[in-house]
C-alpha cells in the first residue's frame, strides 16, 4: 500500500535474492553437516572410549581430537579413529579390548592429559572407571561352562574376586563335578578389557560391551521385598496371618503318600 508509486529498488531485490540463495545453500550444507554429526554418535560396540570419557553425546561436544591422551598412554592402547577406516567419529580416541586392553594406570595419564575435560578429571581412582562392562557372551564355547578349569578371564582381571568371581554349580553332564562359572559383577567391572584380550578361544567368549548394550536397568519404583523386610526388621505388610501350609503326607488325598486316603469323588472312567 505504502509502496504504491515507489518503484522497487533493484539493489533491494538483488540483496534479497542473494541472501535467500546464501541462506538456502547454508540450510542444505548445514543439514548435511548435522546428519554427519548425528551419524558420528553411532559408536561401534567394539570401540571403547578411554577412562573417564563423558557419555558419547557429551563427549563429541567436548573432544577436540588433539590426540594428547593417545600420546600419554604408556601401553599404546588408545588410538585416534582414522577417516573412512574406523567406524568411530574421525579423530576421536578409542581402543579395542581384543587388540590392546586398558592397563588401568593408577595415575590415569590419559585423563590428566585431556585439555578440555572430554575425559572427566573428576575420575581420580581408576577402579571407578566405566569404559564398558564385560559380559560372558558365549556360554556354549566358554571352557569353564563346559566344565573345564580355564579360569583365565578370572585370573587376569585387575579387580579379581570383585569384578569377576567364580560361582560353582553342579555339572549335570558328568554328574559328579562342579562348573566354575565366571561371573561379572557390573558394579566393580571397569571395562578395561583384559579378560576379553586374554580369553584363550579364537573368538573371545567374554567381551566388553558398552554399558548401553551390556546392562538392563531396574525401574525406579521397584522395591525388593526381602530388602525392605530386612531394613524394617518386620514384614512390610502388617497384620498378615501365616496359615499352615498343606503338605503331602498323612491326612491328604494323595494315595502315593503314606497314610493317604481315597478321594471323596470319583473321576469319570475312560471308555475304550
Partner 1 sequence: MTARTHMPLGQEAIAAKGWLGAHKYLLLRRASQLFFLVLFLLGPWFGIWIVQGTLAGSLTLGLLPLTDPFVFLQSLIAGHWPELTGAIGAAIVLVAYALIGGRVYCSWVCPINPVTDSAHWLHRKLGLQKGWQPKRGTRLWIMVTVLIVSGLTGAIAWELVNPITMLHRGLIFGMGFVWAMVAAIFLFDLLVSRHGWCGHVCPVGAFYGLIGSKAMLRVSAANRSACDDCMDCYAVCPENHVISPALKGKDTPLILSPDCTNCGRCIDICAEDVFKFTHRFDALTVAPPESTAAPQPRASRPF
**Binding region for partner 1 (CB under 8 A):** 18, 22-23, 25-26, 29-30, 33-34, 36-38, 40-41, 57-58, 60-68, 70-71, 79-80, 82-86, 89-91, 113-118, 121
C-beta of 36 vs 255, nearer to partner 1: 36
C-beta of 94 vs 180, nearer to partner 1: 94
C-beta of 78 vs 194, nearer to partner 1: 78
| Shortest spacing between CB 131 and partner 1, in angstroms | 20
**Residue 61 is inside which H or E element, if any?**
helix 56-62
Asked whether the beta carbons of 124 and 174 are under 8 A apart, the reply is: no
45 CA to centre of own chain: 9
Comparing C-alpha atoms, which of 206, 204, 209, 192 is closest to residue 100? 192
Asked whether the beta carbons of 100 and 60 are under 8 A apart, the reply is: no
C-beta of 36 vs 201, nearer to partner 1: 36
Comparing C-alpha atoms, which of 132, 129, 183, 138 is closest to residue 160? 183
C-beta of 53 vs 153, nearer to partner 1: 53
The residues, ordered by sequence, that sit 6+ positions from 199 with a Cβ below 8 Å of its Cβ are: 152, 153, 205, 206
C-beta of 83 vs 243, nearer to partner 1: 83
| Shortest spacing between CB 240 and partner 1, in angstroms | 52
| Shortest spacing between CB 211 and partner 1, in angstroms | 20
Where on the phi/psi map is residue 104: left (φ > 0), alpha (ψ -120 to 50), or beta? left
| Shortest spacing between CB 198 and partner 1, in angstroms | 27
| Shortest spacing between CB 155 and partner 1, in angstroms | 34
| Shortest spacing between CB 225 and partner 1, in angstroms | 41
Q: How far is residue 67's CA from residue 168's CA, in Å, rounded to a whole number? A: 45
| DSSP bridge pairs for 180 | 168
Amino acid at each position: 500500500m505504502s509502496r504504491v508509486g515507489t518503484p522497487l529498488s533493484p539493489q533491494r531485490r538483488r540483496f534479497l535474492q542473494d541472501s535467500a540463495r546464501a541462506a538456502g545453500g547454508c540450510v542444505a550444507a548445514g543439514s548435511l553437516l548435522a546428519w554427519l554429526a548425528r551419524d558420528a554418535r553411532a559408536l561401534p560396540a567394539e570401540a571403547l572410549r578411554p577412562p573417564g570419557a563423558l557419555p558419547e553425546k557429551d563427549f563429541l561436544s567436548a573432544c577436540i581430537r588433539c590426540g594428547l591422551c593417545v600420546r600419554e598412554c604408556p601401553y599404546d592402547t588408545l588410538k585416534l579413529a582414522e577417516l573412512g577406516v574406523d567406524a568411530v567419529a574421525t579423530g576421536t580416541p578409542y581402543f579395542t579390548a581384543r587388540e590392546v586392553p586398558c592397563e588401568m594406570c593408577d595415575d590415569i595419564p590419559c585423563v590428566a592429559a585431556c585439555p578440555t575435560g572430554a575425559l572427566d578429571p573428576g575420575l581420580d581412582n581408576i577402579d571407578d572407571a566405566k569404559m564398558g562392562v564385560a559380559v560372558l557372551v558365549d556360554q556354549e564355547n566358554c571352557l569353564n561352562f563346559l566344565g573345564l578349569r580355564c579360569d583365565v578371564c578370572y585370573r587376569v582381571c585387575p579387580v579379581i574376586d570383585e569384578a569377576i568371581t567364580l560361582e560353582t554349580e553342579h555339572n549335570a553332564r558328568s554328574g559328579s563335578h562342579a562348573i566354575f562359572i565366571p561371573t561379572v559383577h557390573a558394579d566393580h567391572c571397569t571395562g578395561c578389557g583384559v579378560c576379553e584380550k586374554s580369553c584363550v578361544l579364537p573368538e573371545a567368549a567374554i567381551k566388553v560391551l558398552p554399558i548401553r548394550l551390556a546392562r538392563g536397568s531396574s525401574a525406579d519404583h521397584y522395591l525388593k521385598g526381602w530388602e525392605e523386610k530386612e531394613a524394617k526388621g518386620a514384614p512390610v505388610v502388617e497384620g498378615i496371618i501365616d496359615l499352615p501350609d498343606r503338605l503331602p503326607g498323612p491326612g491328604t488325598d494323595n494315595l502315593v503318600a503314606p497314610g493317604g486316603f481315597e478321594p471323596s469323588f470319583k473321576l469319570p472312567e475312560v471308555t475304550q
